[in-house]
Structure 1
């Protein structure tokens, strides 16, 4: 049973993890691979609104996606986009990335190889990964403008879609921990965290929402 205080703290983290950018036209969209096909759906919706002429889907497989997406996250994302009407000529697939840093580096390399002229990127992720993805992209690709996007939904709706509230709170805590420790390891730019968000994070850690934490010296997992 999740307490009222923990639920309120989770709402604080959820809101902070989103960048609250207004989608606007960009050179390209990059859809970051995960278990959530909603990333592909969000990319298609933005494409149909004319926000970008080209989509890169990036991601291999992980322990959480291997069974659901055996051909790889980017491949399944691209298949979803084609099913929803995006022409294959407007979709690139980067099938090898296994973390957020590789998502950015390998997508950048693929776009360079394709001859795309990129000055701005619509970076599409799960809602609670917006800030982490943004901070990573700013570190690894500072010369382009980054606009964050995800499926518009409330925290409660997202929990319902996952079906495991404890896991979602674990993921919110783990994502914030990475924002705190990865800048020192060179994986992303540093961002200030408001005091109320830090307090909520510490309370959730103390309450046991820790399954997605990494050791503070884990310099290889990002």
Structure 2
């Protein structure tokens, strides 16, 4: 079986790098009340959450996520369940972890996490949202819309763009995801799902060129 290419085409590298940098919020990590690992196809979320827990960044960790078409083969028991299993296997106390196994989108991740924390009487004035690298900005905008009074810090598994593409094993999938999330920044704000975010002209231009190049499978 031929291997899926994991090299970014040279003619699109600058545009891909621009979107990659745009979606990284570049937040300084500091201790908060709760860490929230957002479900996805990427085990790097669980790895980052586990590392932050061991660094003392939060005493309570929530994993939230059911399944989607892009994750069910990788995480057949559900995203949050597999994340929890990884974290426990790597030294996180089971008592420190809460899981939501129902959320199927970022808005539900936030809403169901808030309900879960309230159920367990965990006060959260500040959170670290742990996501895929290119989901940071969308996660931030969604959280600030649905939970405006909480202080939000965004974090991801600290990989370079090339290392991330290699970890996923599919260059087109990563670029498609970057393009899709860029579209969602504007679209979800228009629909009232998220707060508006500034999109610089060079980001818009990079996004348009990548669409023209056919990186469109994750557009809505």
Short-chain TM bin: over 0.9
Q: What's the counterpart of residue 144 of structure 2? A: 138
1:156 maps to 2:158:
no
Q: What's the counterpart of residue 99 of structure 1? A: 105
Shift of 1:70: 1.3
Q: What's the counterpart of residue 182 of structure 1? A: 188
Give the counterpart of 2:205 among 199, 205, 212.
Answer: 199
Shift of 1:5: 3.1
Give the counterpart of 1:37 among 39, 43, 66.
Answer: 43
TM-score, structure 2 as length reference: 0.95
Q: Deviations over 1:55-85 (max 9, x none)?
A: 0000001111112211110010001110001
Give the counterpart of 2:80 among 35, 57, 74.
Answer: 74
Unaligned runs of 5+ in 2: none
Shift >2 Å, 4+ stretches: 1-5
Q: Deviations over 1:70-110 (max 9, x none)?
A: 11100100011100011111000100000000000000100
Q: What's the counterpart of residue 220 of structure 1? A: none
Q: What's the counterpart of residue 26 of structure 1? A: 32
Report the number of matched residues. 214
Report the RMSD for the aligned CA atoms in angstroms. Answer: 1.0
Shift of 1:166: 1.3
Shift of 1:3: 4.2
Q: Deviations over 1:96-152 (max 9, x none)?
A: 000000000000100011101110010000011000100100000001000000011
Rounded to whole Å, the distance in 2 between the matches of 1:144 and 1:29 is 12
Shift of 1:4: 2.4
